[in-house]
Amino acid sequence: MAVKDVLIYPDPLLKEVCEPIKVFDESAGQLLQDLVDTMVDAGHSVGVAAPQIGDLRRAVVVDVSTSKLGKKQKNHGLICMVNPEILEREGNTVVREGCMSVPEYTGNVSRAERIVVQFINREGQHQVIRSEDFEAIAIQHELDHLDGKLFLDRVSSLKTDLFRRKK
Is the CB of residue 147 less than 8 Å from the CB of residue 51? no
Is 142 part of the annotated catalytic residue set?
yes
Give the span between the Cα atoms of 47 and 41, in whole angstroms: 11
Q: Between the CA of residue 38 and those of 30, 50, 59, 123, what are the distances in Å? A: 12, 10, 13, 20
Give the span between the Cα atoms of 123 and 144, in whole angstroms: 23
Question: Which member of 16, 88, 97, 142 is catalytic?
Answer: 142
Give the span between the Cα atoms of 15 and 106, in whole angstroms: 18
Rg (CA), the chain: 15
Give the span between the Cα atoms of 65 and 132, in whole angstroms: 13
For residue 149, the Cα-to-chain-centroid distance in whole angstroms is: 11
The catalytic site residues sit at: 142
